[in-house]
Structure 1
Amino acid sequence: MTPTTPTYPGEATEEDNLMRDLIVTQNITVDGVIEAGDWFGPADGGPDVLEAVREQSARADAFLTGRHTFEDMRDFWPKQTDDTTGITAYLNQVHKYVVSTTLQEPGWEPTTVLRGLDDVRKLKESDGRDIVCTGSIQLTHQLIAADLVDEYRLFVYPTVVGSGRRLFVDGTPHKLRLTTSRAFAGGVVLLTYR
């Protein structure tokens, strides 16, 4: 019989190391709102925030969204011909995965349609680098509820909006561990939790 090493709640096991990390990356206000509004634009955080986003993108080879976010992005980003942020180039080349029970033809390659959270689990079990989910509030809430999120990367903007949809819904307590924090010149702070 092979001896086993005991594990403790929250501690990584050998099996955990075989799965890809699913990273939720959100732009968020100080009061926890992730719903886009006048408080946020892709380049609002400044060049150092864009550089941090590029660094994160380089560690990921899968971009996960819900159908609404996917369609909004598909209708906007491929048409940007003078984008100096690098977002268009990244989104056009990264493999996109969209969770939808109704979408048939994505129309923005490379894209794979996933039919539900079981398909997301299978994606996590496949070979590859990080899977990043950005925006997609409804999908993010489902991923959190299903305990599929490995890490949260929160770009906290020095703004309070007072209302709007939040990252964590009422009645869903979570104990997170801060792994890194990084402040940027424009007042944005990147907090990474596992």
Structure 2
Amino acid sequence: MRRIVITQNITLDGVVDAEQSWFDVTADTEQGRELAAVTAEHAAASDGFLVGRTTFEAMRGFWPRQLDDRTGVTDHLNRVRKYVVSTTLDDPGWDGTTVLRGGDALEPEIRALTDGDGTDIVLTGSITLGHSLLRAGLVHEVRLFTYPIVLGRGRRLFPDGWRAENLSLIEQRTFSGGVTLTRYAL
């Protein structure tokens, strides 16, 4: 059975949207290199990437154009199966992409993916899709790269009213710039 894993960059106050440009995954700094190394570890354990249309289009417009990508993200995204949830996208324009129609079919589509052969399917970005998967109980793990910053506004990872108790801490690491990784099984 495959697992759905949400991986997010997040602020201390729970913001996950990048509108305020508070993190840079391509930064060539000590912390950037440390984060790229752990991201590569996680990527090696996955063969699927799950996103909503908006995040998909942003990533499709950015990562394939990175010719000197030291993070390994471009190679990873070109290698794995990509699943984009969209009711409007017909031609994804990125090899290895399957369009899932979502809506009432979202839960059966995701269950079919997790029932298939393979390794982890990772969701990043795609806040609305993440909320839907959390509410439906389809998420197996949450990986949080918490940045020591408070923004005071922005979209949050967990939907209003959603509650989870007895999360199991799998791992906790701190990086040179103060970012911490915490992984929880749901």
Q: Same fold (TM over 0.5)?
A: yes
Q: Distance in 2 between matches of 1:34 and 1:71?
A: 18
1:177 aligns with 2:168: yes
- Structure 2 gap segments, 5+ residues each: none
- Structure 1 gap segments, 5+ residues each: 1-18
TM-score under structure 2 length normalisation: 0.91
Matched residue of 2:71: which SS? Answer: coil
Match of 2:23 among 17, 40, 45: 40
Residue 20 of structure 1 corresponds to: 2
Matched residue of 1:46: which SS? Answer: helix
Match of 1:92 among 78, 101, 116: 78
Residue 61 of structure 1 corresponds to: 47
Q: Distance in 2 between matches of 1:56 and 1:184?
A: 16
Identity %: 55
Contact residue 25 and residue 32 of structure 2 kept, 8 A: no
Letter in 2 for 1:190: L
RMSD: 1.1
Deviates more, 1:26-35 or 1:72-81: 72-81
Q: CA deviation at 1:134?
A: 0.6
* Structure ID, larger Rg: 1
Q: Distance in 1 between matches of 2:113 and 2:23?
A: 30
1:123 aligns with 2:116: no
Q: Distance in 1 between matches of 2:51 and 2:7?
A: 11
Q: Distance in 2 between matches of 1:75 and 1:153?
A: 25
TM superposition outliers: structure 1 runs of 4+ over 6 Å: none
Q: CA deviation at 1:82?
A: 2.0
Matched residue of 1:31: which SS? Answer: coil
TM-score under structure 1 length normalisation: 0.87
